[in-house]
Chain A
Amino acid sequence: DVLMTQSPLSLPVTLGQPASISCRSSQSLLHSDGNTYLNWFQQRPGQSPRRLIYRVSNRDSGVPDRFSGSGSGTDFTLKISRVEAEDVGVYFCMQGTHWPPITFGQGTRLEIK
């Protein structure tokens, strides 16, 4: 199974400041079809998860452009250029390259400092 390791697990950020979350996989997520199936999800308090980024760096419709994803192979990053109050929640990475099983990172809790 592919192990997904996120860091940090807790991320206090001042409003307007940038934030960065790392996600590392135990093996390369490059699929034989040339795609890398690494997604990022946001789960606001009391809500269901919502996909923000798919295939490493593609922003979903309606996702603010302050969110960006990058990386390759086993090393991926979600960045928020300027944190806003509505960004509070837990962020998960997920791999869909080597499945079953589909595996998630442990989650990173973003809070306002």
Chain B
Amino acid sequence: EVQLVESGGDLVQPGGSLRLSCAASGFAFSGSAMSWVRQAPGKGLEWVSTINGDNDRAYYADSVKGRFTLSRDTSNNTLSLQMNSLRVDDTAVYYCARSSSWDPWGQGTVVTVSS
């Protein structure tokens, strides 16, 4: 079964850091483009970052560029999003998705940035 399971969401103060993980199974993780998409409470979907399947080059939304870093570990099929200098408006459910097909999506992990 193709599956993605996110973890790492938490309550953090503004200016703090958090590392999200996405465990992948059931498909060829190393060759797949992978992305993070977030959804603020009651809002729509916002693309955050994508890592290419062929060269592992990462791309970022302007809103997170310079603060977030996307990487993958093919030895344990894990996608990671390092989030630094967190702001209140980063509060959201963060989903990882296999973006080579935009299927599947994980169940999401909640990040709350508040003092």
The stretch from A20-28, A46-54, A64-72, A76-84 touching chain B is: A46-54
State which residues 70-110 of B face A: CB under 8 Å: 95, 97, 99, 101-103, 105-108
A96 to B46, CA, bound (A): 13
> Which interface class (under 10, 10 to 19, 20 to 34, 35 or more) fits A?
20 to 34
Inter-chain contact A100/B46, CB cutoff 8 Å? no
> Is B27 positioned at the interface, with any CB of A under 8 Å from its CB?
no
Inter-chain contact A54/B44, CB cutoff 8 Å? no
A99 to B105, CA, bound (A): 20
Inter-chain contact A39/B45, CB cutoff 8 Å? no
User: Which residues of B lie under 8 Å from residue A7 when comparing CB positions?
Assistant: none
State which residues 6-50 of A face B: CB under 8 Å: 39, 41, 48-50
Inter-chain contact A104/B103, CB cutoff 8 Å? no
Chain A residue nearest to B6 in the complex (CB):
A48
Inter-chain contact B45/A49, CB cutoff 8 Å? yes
User: Which residues of A lie under 8 Å from residue B102 when comparing CB positions?
Assistant: 39, 41, 51, 54, 94, 96
Given A39-B102, A48-B106, A48-B107, A105-B59 contact (CB < 8 Å): no
Q: Which residues of A contact B (CB under 8 A)?
A: 39, 41, 48-51, 54, 60, 90, 92, 94, 96, 99-107
